Structure 1
Amino acid sequence: MKTLLLLLIFFSLTTFAQQKTTIPFQLTEYNNLSVKAVLNQKDTVQLMFHTAANAVTLTEEVLQKITSLKFDRTDSVKSWGGNDNTSRFSKSNTLQIGSLKWENVPIWENKNSGQHTDGKFGLDLFENKTIEIDFDKKILIIYASLPSKTKRFEKLKLSFQDEMMFVEGNVAIGNNYYKNKFLIHSGYAGAILFDDQFVATNKLGEQLKVTDEKQLKDSFGNILKTKKAIISNFSLGKIKLNNIPVGFFEGALGRQKMSIIGGDIIKRFNIIIDAKREFIYLKANKLKGFVYSNV
């Protein structure tokens, strides 16, 4: 009887450890992960999974169609491109994604989200859970504990600051090599964006040949112009990518305070993020060799 009881306890613990929830997503042509969600058991929306966000937001456009949301106040908020922004706030909603359901979810209003999405959600919904992003199968998998498959992935240290994940990357420009910390930012459609200090300290503006200029627009419609160039290679751990488009700013802007790896890099890996946000596990997938997007 004692042996049977121990076996039952072991089986229960094993079953719990292996619990997982699968959530399908669409990868848009703008490198956004679009996930179907239901608000307040009534309104269906497409939300972008944003690895650098810590709140649920909806765009002004979709809020003209939604009837289940009630706003409580208007807040002043800061954004990537400016400080003079206002956002309506709804303090308590239900949100369902796949079989997962959350109560008392606060929601903010934004002007923009990733193209073809109605808003966004971030890592905070999966607090203390392991997250897998499988681009080959186009699914998110949420685990109660770290899956054994991580043995087949490359393990890299994360730094987790202000609910954002950073990883060290290596940049090659000609014969010069530079290390830098990069924010993992699935809401940015491009490949890499360098921070102003990194550009200035290493005089990258003198080394990079500008190929184009692009406009970047944040969640509140603020516009910044960025210069585009190509670097010879970029590596995360032992995984190397070649001829990568990068964006950067020149001059005393001081606005771009962190370097970013965006969706055009992220989609080239199947990714597992541990529950404590201490490590990220990467494995190159079938998108690794695809041509980079002109976004």
Structure 2
Amino acid sequence: MFKKVSLLFLFSVGFLMLKAQEKIPFRITKYNNIIVKTLVNDKDSLDLMFQIAMEGGSISPERQRKADHIIFKDEISENNTVKIGKLIIKNVQFFDNELTGHEADGKIGTGIFAGKTFKIDYDNNQFGIYDKMPDLKGYESMPLFSENGQFYIVADNVIDNEQQEVYFLLQSGYSGGILYSNKFADGKELDKKLKITGEKTLKNSAGQSVITKQGVLPFLKLGNLVLKDVSAGFFAGDLKTQKVSYFGADLLRRFIWIFDAERKTVYFKPSKYFKEPYYKLN
């Protein structure tokens, strides 16, 4: 279903000091988003949300800080330089007017790690960047599927006492746990088979309704690790535009992740958040 492809190299990466490992601190918001402090074109200090589902960067129209030195043409800005700690990333492409997470001026993607193995360490609030594979003691592994710069994994879902395999897009911009695609939600009759804990209805100008429902997935199995009573959302109503299933930020934070340089394998183990209460969407 998914074609394994190499990352598009939108970035050329250089280091002020070449090391086997570089560490980049981040903070986690109450919405489960990762925020990194950046300096763009040596002028603009921006808080950018790390978005694992993209390679490049973007600037939000609702930003709190100025981005006057990012020059856009047709809402695209080329050849920018971004500094994150000691890391310097050149030739960064930014898109303009893309909404982002709370407390962020925009987004930055996985291109900052191009050609490198990288770790998302939620225990220590930092990224690790490696020239060689780090110690993998205690980690499990699974295939990583890449498509258009986005990453997918496979996890088993237990619904109505049946185990269902689902391809999930890793989506750090979605604060919740699981968000199922319309195809899966309709095909598996989630409206009937999941315990529904909440529902909201919105209508557009044409009177079409968008219904969001929150439910509880009894078990989600990632490798040999099992999460219980996972928060799971899906759409109903007239408008159904969710084409893929999300593995959201609330689930991502429950693991420490290592992505190999080829983006073909991901390694994971429980983080300190593994048994924390699930995030409740407003």
Using structure 1 for the length normalisation, give the TM-score: 0.82
- The equivalences for 1:44-55 within 5 A come to 44-55=45-56
Paired AA for residue 30 in structure 1: Y
Separation in structure 1 between the aligned mates of residue 151 and residue 27 of structure 2, nearest angstrom? 23
- The equivalences for 1:174-185 within 5 A come to 174-185=160-171
Q: Which residue of the partner structure matches residue 82 of structure 2? A: 95
Cα shift at 1:142: 0.9
Paired AA for residue 41 in structure 1: D
- CA deviation map 1:197-216 (0-9, x unaligned): 11122222221232113589
- The equivalences for 1:207-246 within 5 A come to 207-213=193-199, 225-246=211-232
Cα shift at 1:111: 4.1
RMSD of Structure 2 on Structure 1 (CA): 2.2
Q: Which residue of the partner structure matches residue 107 of structure 1? A: 94
Residues 46 and 119, structure 1, Cα contact 8 Å, conserved in 2? yes
Cα shift at 1:140: 0.3
Instruction: Report the CA distance shift for 1:224/1:57 in structure 2 as closer, same or farther (over 3 A).
Output: farther
Q: Which of 104, 116, 131 is the matching residue for 1:144?
A: 131
Cα shift at 1:47: 0.7
Percent identity of paired positions between Structure 1 and Structure 2: 34
Instruction: Report the CA distance shift for 1:102/1:155 in structure 2 as closer, same or farther (over 3 A).
Output: same
Please state if 1:32 is matched with 2:39. Answer: no
Structure possessing the higher radius of gyration over alpha carbons: 1
Instruction: Report the CA distance shift for 1:230/1:275 in structure 2 as closer, same or farther (over 3 A).
Output: same
Q: Which residue of the partner structure matches residue 67 of structure 1? A: 68
Q: Which runs of 5+ in 2 are unaligned?
A: 1-17, 203-208
Structure 1: which 4+ aligned runs deviate by more than 4 Å? 251-254
Please state if 1:284 is matched with 2:267. Answer: no
Q: How many residues align?
A: 259
Residues 46 and 65, structure 2, Cα contact 8 Å, conserved in 1? no
Paired AA for residue 59 in structure 1: S
Paired AA for residue 28 in structure 1: T
Separation in structure 2 between the aligned mates of residue 155 and residue 215 of structure 1, nearest angstrom? 39
- CA deviation map 1:35-75 (0-9, x unaligned): 000011011111111110122101113387232122222xx
Separation in structure 1 between the aligned mates of residue 156 and residue 275 of structure 2, nearest angstrom? 19
Q: Which residue of the partner structure matches residue 156 of structure 2? A: 170
Cα shift at 1:277: 0.8
- CA deviation map 1:114-170 (0-9, x unaligned): 1111111111221111110111100001111211x2132001111111111111111
Which structure features the higher share of helix residues? 1
Q: Which residue of the partner structure matches residue 129 of structure 1? A: 116
Residues 38 and 44, structure 1, Cα contact 8 Å, conserved in 2? yes
Q: Which residue of the partner structure matches residue 241 of structure 2? A: 255
- CA deviation map 1:196-253 (0-9, x unaligned): 111122222221232113589xxxxxx9642100111111111111111100123564
Residues 196 and 253, structure 1, Cα contact 8 Å, conserved in 2? no
Residues 59 and 109, structure 1, Cα contact 8 Å, conserved in 2? yes
Residues 18 and 145, structure 1, Cα contact 8 Å, conserved in 2? no
Separation in structure 2 between the aligned mates of residue 277 and residue 243 of structure 1, nearest angstrom? 30
Q: Which runs of 5+ in 1 are unaligned?
A: 1-16, 74-87, 217-222
Separation in structure 1 between the aligned mates of residue 238 and residue 156 of structure 2, nearest angstrom? 24
